[in-house]
Amino acid sequence: MKQVLIATNNKGKAKDFEALFNPLGVTVMTLNDLEETIDVEETGTTFEENAILKAEEVSKLLGVIVIADDSGLEVDALDGAPGVYSARYAGLEKNDDANIDKVLEGLTGVSDEERTARFRCVLAVAGPEMETVTFSGSCEGSILHDRRGTNGFGYDPIFYTPIKERAMAELSAIEKGEISHRGAALAQLKEHLPKLMESFGASR
C-alpha cells in the first residue's frame, strides 16, 4: 500500500495520519486533495457507525480503498457529551474554540476529581469487494480549567493526559501519536496490515 485516502477534510486529522503513515512510506491523501467535493452526512449514533458510513460511502463513490475515522471527546460529568457531536457541539459551523468554551461552561464548578474524560476513535477500512473492518482506541485523561498549548486541534488544549503530565496541545506530533486515541487505533491497523494487504490485492 503506497497511498491511502483518508475520508476527512480535517487538516488536523490529516497531520495525525501523516505522522503515523509517512514513516512507512505511505502517502496520505484526504478529501481536500480531490477535485470533487464529497460530504457524507454523519447520521450514526456511535463512533463506529459513523466511521463505517463514511468509509463505505466514499469507497463506493470513488471505487478505492478508504480509511475513515470518527472520533470525539467523552466527558463523564456531561453524561458522555459531546460524544459523536464533538465536532459540532457548539453549532454546525464546527468551531473548535466555541466547542471548547461550551465544554468549559458545562463544567463550571465541577471539581478536578470529577472532570474525567477520554478521547475515543474508531477507524473503518472499506474497499470494493472487501469486508469493512474497524479498529478502535481511547485515551484517558481529564478536562483542564483553561487552555494550554498551541499544538493539535479540537479539544487538545483542554485535555490533560496524566501519562505525559501535559495538555494534549502541549505535545509534539510524535508524543501525541504515542498515546492518542487515534494513535492506538492506527497501531491496531498497522498490526493487521499484512492480512489487510491480501484483501487490498484481492479487491483490485
Residue 70 appears among annotated catalytic residues: yes
Q: What are phi and psi of 124, to 5 degrees?
A: -125, 135
- Binding residues, as ranges, are 8-13, 41, 70-71, 153-156, 176, 181-182
- Binding residues for substrate, as ranges, are 8-13, 71, 153-156, 176, 181-182
**What cell does 12 get?**
488536523
**What cell does 117 get?**
474524560
User: Positive or negative CA dihedral for 48, 10, 184, 115?
Assistant: negative
Residue length of the chain: 204
User: In whole angstroms, what is the distance from residue 201 CA to residue 184 CA?
Assistant: 25
> Of residues 69, 70, 96, 112, which has the active-site annotation?
70
Instruction: Decide if 167 contacts 154 (C-beta within 8 A).
Output: no
- Binding residues for Mg(2+), as ranges, are 41, 70
User: In whole angstroms, what is the distance from residue 195 CA to residue 21 CA?
Assistant: 17
By annotation, the residues acting in catalysis are: 70
